[in-house]
Amino acid sequence: MKRFDAILDIMKYVDDEIIVCNIGFPSRELFEIKDRSKNFYMLGSMGLASSIGLGLAIANDNSNTNEKGTNADGFKKNKEKIIVFDGDGSVLMNMGSLVTIYNQNPKNLILVVFDNGCYGSTGNQCTYAQNIDLLEVAKSIGFKNCHDYNDIDFEDILLDECEDPVFIHYKILPGNADSPIIDFSPEEIKNRFMDSLNTNNH
């Protein structure tokens, strides 16, 4: 299975969750499969998908809800789940992020690493993930919820009230779909995304 079909599979289950999607073909493929306002498409800053997801998860989780059911920053409900679509190359570029996520321990963050052993968006050059097991790396850091995608039902993961973040290793084959360039400007992506989160600071 290549990344396009892997994203297609996951998006069957995604409903209200917030998605932060890695730069390049992953974002283009997600855009083609299921464009939605709760998708944040990265257009630069390779490596930072997991960090952006962590910031969102902490902001969403740490605020108290008021009588209207919204928290101080405008989220409709507390602990709306954040899903990050990351890649092996970008995880390797920002490995410290795994350590910070583990230590901050947001219970509303699901990190999905599509691992094709390649830098897919730059012409499928090999990554060192071909020689190491990123799932074992996550386990060795201490993540309690580490899964091989093939061993789980993703819908169950979304429904679970976890006490800790979830790390999912999704081993796939190299290859990009012929997905279109995202035809939103960066500002449009940001504003639509923030409007969908009901954040009120822009």
Partner 1 sequence: MDSSEAVYQGLKSAGINFIVSVPCVNLGKILEIIDEDEDIIHVPVTREEEGLGICAGAYFGGKKTAILMQNSGLGNCVNALGSLYQLYSLPIVMIMSHRGTEGEPIVGQVPMGKATPKVLDAMELEYFNPKNPTDAKGIISKSWDLSVDKGSPISILLDINYW
- Closest by CA position to 7, among listed 177, 157, 163, 161: 177
- Closest by CA position to 163, among listed 93, 113, 115, 105: 105
* Amino acid residing at 13: Y
Q: Which of 67, 131, 181, 202 binds partner 1 (CB under 8 A)?
A: 202
Q: Does 21 bind partner 1 (CB under 8 A)?
A: no
Q: How far is the CB of 202 from partner 1 (least distance, A)?
A: 8
Q: For residues 71-130, which are near partner 1 according to CB under 8 A?
A: 72-75, 94, 96-97, 99-100, 104
Rounded distance between C-alpha atoms, residue 132 and residue 142, angstroms: 17
- Closest by CA position to 123, among listed 24, 31, 32: 24
Q: Does 200 bind partner 1 (CB under 8 A)?
A: yes
Q: Does 190 bind partner 1 (CB under 8 A)?
A: yes
Cα dist from 138 to 134, 176, 184, whole Å: 6, 26, 34
Q: Does 166 bind partner 1 (CB under 8 A)?
A: no
Q: Which of 7, 19, 20, 110 binds partner 1 (CB under 8 A)?
A: 20
- Closest by CA position to 21, among listed 56, 73, 60: 56
Q: Which of 21, 54, 135, 137 binds partner 1 (CB under 8 A)?
A: 54
Single out the segment in contact with partner 1 by CB under 8 A; choices: 40-48, 116-124, 138-146, 174-182: 40-48
Cβ atoms of residues 47 and 94 within 8 Å:
yes
Which positions lie near partner 1, rule CB under 8 A? 20, 40, 42-60, 62-63, 72-75, 94, 96-97, 99-100, 104, 186-187, 189-190, 193-194, 197, 199-202
